[in-house]
Amino acid sequence: MTLQELITGCKQKDAKAQEALYRQYANILFGICLKYSPNRMEAEDSLQDAFMTIYNRVEQYEGKGSFEGWIKRITVNTVLQKYRKKRLYEISNEEQLEEIDEEIVHDEIPLDYLLKIIQELPDRYRLVFNLYVMDNYSHKEIAEMLGISDGTSKSNLARARAILKTKIELFKNENP
């Protein structure tokens, strides 16, 4: 089936088209869910929620822009919606914290370790870090997505980077 046939089938609530769409995009979207979730189980739940939203809203896709981009955006919003409800982002006196502008990724650090320590970040820091560093959203966009101020987004990023920098330095000291 072509992508257009899949989309048309999903708009008609065809279970085979929905299954084919799931098989085609599940791995990509699961990666997004895992990036923004604190653990694998929540990522799996978010993936299912995202696909339900995609199936329910596929009629809204008008063929303008990338379909993959459209479903990725739905997936990010689905994961973030869970955290918006928890209001994990409001932290007092973080507005004044300046952004740390240091590079934290080092060639000698294994990718699996980096992913592990990013996933271990507190939710508010992990979400802002991933949105800003991995997905290139601006602080203004992040603030709108998470219902926080630009300053809180900047301070959460700075704190995430500080935590990651400490963990990386510890790793480098333990693994010379």
Q: How many residues does the chain have?
A: 176
Q: Exposure string (b/e) for 137-174, b if CB count within 10 Å is 16 or more?
A: bebeebbebbebbeebbbbbbbbbbebbeebbeebeee
Identify the CA nearest to 121 among candidates 150, 157, 93: 157
Same domain, 121 and 170: yes
Same domain, 75 and 145: no
pLDDT in tens, 92-151: 334 333 333 344 444 577 888 888 899 899 988 999 999 999 888 999 999 988 888 999
What CA–CA distance (Å, rounded) separates 143 from 157?
A: 12
Residue 123 in domain: yes
Same domain, 81 and 128: no
pLDDT at 170 over 80: yes
Same domain, 78 and 128: no
pLDDT in tens, 17-56: 999 999 999 999 999 998 888 888 999 999 999 999 999 9
**What pTM was estimated for this model as a whole?**
0.70
Residue 52 backbone class (left: φ over 0; alpha: ψ -120 to 50; beta: rest): alpha
Confidence at residue 89, expressed as pLDDT on a 0 to 100 scale: 42
Same domain, 10 and 61: yes
CATH at residue 78: 1.10.1740.10
Same domain, 11 and 81: yes
Same domain, 11 and 57: yes
3-state helix, strand, coil in the chain (%, to 5): 70, 0, 30
Report residue 101 CA to chain centroid gap: 21
Burial class (CB in 10 A: 0-12, 13-18, 19+), 61: middle
Range of the domain at 28: 3-86
